[in-house]
Amino acid sequence: MRFLEKKQNNLLPNVSNKNDIILLLGPPSTKSTFDNDIWIYLERIITKKPLIKLGSNKTIVNNVLVLEIDNRGLLVSKKLYNLNDMNELNFSTNKTKQDYTKRSFVYDFLSSMRQKINDPLNKRKKP
């Protein structure tokens, strides 16, 4: 059931290389390049809650495997994050006020863009 948890045990830092990782896990979900290559593998299993709970989703497995690979292609480090490592984030409900006055740069810019869109050849009759 937990694919990443079992497979990541076969990866050894400073022993495994990119080819070993691809053979074992396949291509990564996400790649990024900083000083070293970072490969990220995602595993997520979601099920529906009972009808009493209105059938909302419940996350059973949420594993993220982060592999760091050096410029020679060797695995430097690996970190496995699971459902217990997830943080509950609270987002702000505050809203930003829009302050577009007739004297602001944004208002002037948007007005000129609207004018160009409405009359691209500038052949509109002037009042």
pLDDT-based confidence at residue 123 (cuts at 50, 70, 90): low
- Integer CA distances (angstroms), 104 to 1, 58, 98, in order: 58, 47, 11
Stronger pLDDT, 122 or 92, i.e. the higher one: 92
Residue 127: inside a domain, yes or no?
A: no
What domain range is 57 assigned to?
3-85
Q: What is the DSSP string of 83-98?
A: GGGPPPP------PPP
CA distance 105 to 103: 7
Residue 98: inside a domain, yes or no?
A: no
Of 43-47, 67-71, 91-95, 97-101, minimum mean pLDDT range: 97-101
Q: How many structural domains comprise the chain? A: 1
Residue 49: inside a domain, yes or no?
A: yes
Residue 30: inside a domain, yes or no?
A: yes
Average pLDDT over residues 70-76: 87
Residue 106: inside a domain, yes or no?
A: no
The per-residue pLDDT of the chain, averaged, comes to 79
**What does the pLDDT read at residue 11?**
86
Residue 75: inside a domain, yes or no?
A: yes
pLDDT (tens digit per residue) in 48-70: 777 666 767 777 777 888 889 88
Check pLDDT > 50 for residue 1.
no
CA distance 103 to 76: 56
Q: Supply the CATH number for residue 35's domain.
A: 3.30.1450
Which range has the top average pLDDT, 9-13, 31-35, 50-54, 93-97? 9-13
Residue 125: inside a domain, yes or no?
A: no
Check pLDDT > 70 for residue 18.
yes
Contacts of 106 (CB under 8 A, 6+ apart): 100
**Matching residue, tokens 């209105």:** 54
Residue 116: inside a domain, yes or no?
A: no
Q: Is the pTM of this model over 0.85?
A: no
